[in-house]
Chain A
Amino acid sequence: MVTGLGVISPIGVGLAAFAAGLRTGRSGAAPVRGFDTTGFEHDIACEVPDFDAADWLQELDPADLGRASRFAVAAARLAVADASGDPAAAEHTVARLRSRHGLIAIGTTMGESRDIDALVAQELAHGPAGMSPALARRINAGRLSVSIAHELGLTDVEPVTVPTACAAGNYAIGHGYDAVRAGDVDFALCGGADALCRKTFAGFYRLGAMAPDRCRPFDLDRRGMLTGEGAGVLLLEDLESARARGARIHAEVLGYGLNCDAAHPVAPDSDSVARCMRLALDDANVEPEEVDLISAHGTATKANDIAEARAIRGVFGDASPPRTVSMKSMLGHTLGAASALAAIGCVVAIGEGFIPPTINHEETDPECGLDCVPNEAVEADLRVVQNNALAFGGNNAVLLLGRYEEPS
């Protein structure tokens, strides 16, 4: 059961702002401010504007954490507050979590890559001896998850970082789901985080994967992704634990699927993606016709959207596949946070009864052949939503979320 949601995103911080942003089709795209873009021919990305970790961290010193860890820890704090109903009751929730055995699983693509950029700049200026010890101590990817334990004072936890690139959020949520379901742990704080840096921007730019100004998934004239950053963290508990706390249940994780294309380092394989969707549906005991909405990976590159659409039509049929949206149109590609933020978007959609739109849409690519709910949110009664994530290296993870219905 999903009982808490924490969001640090380019379109809003906190669940309410995020949900409002999704409903209004807010775009997080803006000129980059976090690093020097001189020399690039375009400079648009989806950063989290004016983020001050001191607003969210109560125990840890932000200076001890890289930006991705700060996002992850802040999102975890927000998830716990959200899980408490009344934010003033958050300490009570934390005390309860401290007394139970838990898992912390945070996905990422690039980890503290921004600190690596800074260390390299130091090395170029002053040689290896000029590398800051404080930065060098911040860069291990494991810190994204263990820092949450330190911030919340949790010691009876298994903190694991799952750096499975752009599917990492779904992987981490799935891992939390498995651990809670098996009774290994009573709760899981799981999601994903990434922070934008110049190396990442340059890499996608070099691959020709980056759009000059707008992310336009499934559009005939789409020209690629925009890079982004942020974090999404979900609190998962089993039903008994949620009830014992009197917690509000946002939604239910129904199941998920994992597989690997084993084909190409960056380009997706339709058949393999379709197979992953089927694994997820089987795991969740959901028939294709029961899926009301698909939250696509939808990066808006020529290659991804075609391959993903083909896979969707392969599983759901050509005639009337589910409406398929890409929240990356609003958020950009937040990398390790992407599928976690999209999963939270799916939970919002289920709970508030609307479909977040695919913005920047002018003409649907007929080769994709999907209804991507262009530009404006629509009201919808959603019981089951599928969240796709297709990463570099063919690391695919598909998650199914469902409305929780209290048995009568």
Chain B
Amino acid sequence: MAEMRDIVCEILEIDPDEITEDSLFKEDHGADSMGTIEILGLLEKQYNIVIDEGELIRMVNLSGVFAVVSEAAGWEREADPAP
């Protein structure tokens, strides 16, 4: 989570203590659509995952990002991920 916070803060050009799990990238931190795409791109590369573009609408804050990344990376599954 801290790693994701750092990635997001780097893209948004803000300090880590300015952001919370729920503060909104666009409304609270001035992100535009390109910023969200940059965040998605860096996360995919960092965790070697592929995030469906449709998930962008959920990636509005850090909790949303964490949820999407966890699912894409299969972290929350106990059993083997479905093929």
Q: Is A267 part of the binding interface, using a Cβ–Cβ cutoff of 8 Å?
A: yes
Question: Quick check: which of B12-20, B23-31, B32-40, B61-69 contacts chain A, the rest being far away?
Answer: B32-40
Are A208 and B53 touching (Cβ within 8 A)?
A: yes
Q: Is B41 part of the binding interface, using a Cβ–Cβ cutoff of 8 Å?
A: yes
What is the distance, in angstroms, from A128's C-beta to the closest C-beta of chain B?
A: 25
Within 8 A of B (CB), among A260-293: 264-267
Across the interface, B41 reaches (CB within 8 A) one of A206, A264, A266, namely A206
Are B37 and A265 touching (Cβ within 8 A)?
A: no
Residues of A contacting B32 in the complex (Cβ-Cβ under 8 angstroms): 264, 267
Q: Is A207 part of the binding interface, using a Cβ–Cβ cutoff of 8 Å?
A: yes
Where chain A touches its partner, the secondary structure class is: loop
User: Complex formed: what's the CA distance from A207 to B53 in Å?
Assistant: 10
Are B33 and A267 touching (Cβ within 8 A)?
A: yes
Are A264 and B34 touching (Cβ within 8 A)?
A: yes
Within 8 A of A (CB), among B38-83: 41, 50, 53, 56
Residue of B nearest to A209 (CB): B37
Within 8 A of B (CB), among A189-228: 206-208
Q: How large is the interface on A (under 10, 10 to 19, 20 to 34, 35 or more residues)?
A: under 10
Residues of B contacting A41 in the complex (Cβ-Cβ under 8 angstroms): 50
Residues of B contacting A303 in the complex (Cβ-Cβ under 8 angstroms): 33
Residues of A contacting B34 in the complex (Cβ-Cβ under 8 angstroms): 207, 264-267
Residues of A contacting B53 in the complex (Cβ-Cβ under 8 angstroms): 208
Residues of B contacting A265 in the complex (Cβ-Cβ under 8 angstroms): 34
User: Complex formed: what's the CA distance from A207 to B33 in Å?
Assistant: 10
Are B33 and A206 touching (Cβ within 8 A)?
A: no
User: Complex formed: what's the CA distance from A41 to B37 in Å?
Assistant: 17
Residues of A contacting B37 in the complex (Cβ-Cβ under 8 angstroms): 206-208
User: Complex formed: what's the CA distance from A207 to B40 in Å?
Assistant: 10
Residue of A nearest to B44 (CB): A206
User: Complex formed: what's the CA distance from A242 to B39 in Å?
Assistant: 55
User: Complex formed: what's the CA distance from A208 to B57 in Å?
Assistant: 13
What is the distance, in angstroms, from B26's C-beta to the closest C-beta of chain A?
A: 13
Residue among A41, A207, A208, A266 with most chain B CB within 10 A: A208
User: Complex formed: what's the CA distance from A7 to B46 in Å?
Assistant: 44
A 223-267 binary contact with B (CB < 8 Å = 1; else 0)? 000000000000000000000000000000000000000001111
State the B residues within 8 Å of A (CB).
Answer: 32-34, 37, 41, 50, 53, 56
Interface contacts beyond A264-B32, A303-B33: sample of 10 additional A-B pairs, CB < 8 Å, sorted by A: A41-B50, A206-B37, A207-B34, A207-B37, A208-B37, A208-B53, A208-B56, A266-B34, A267-B32, A267-B33
A-B pairs with lowest CB-CB distance, top 4: A208-B53, A208-B37, A206-B41, A207-B37
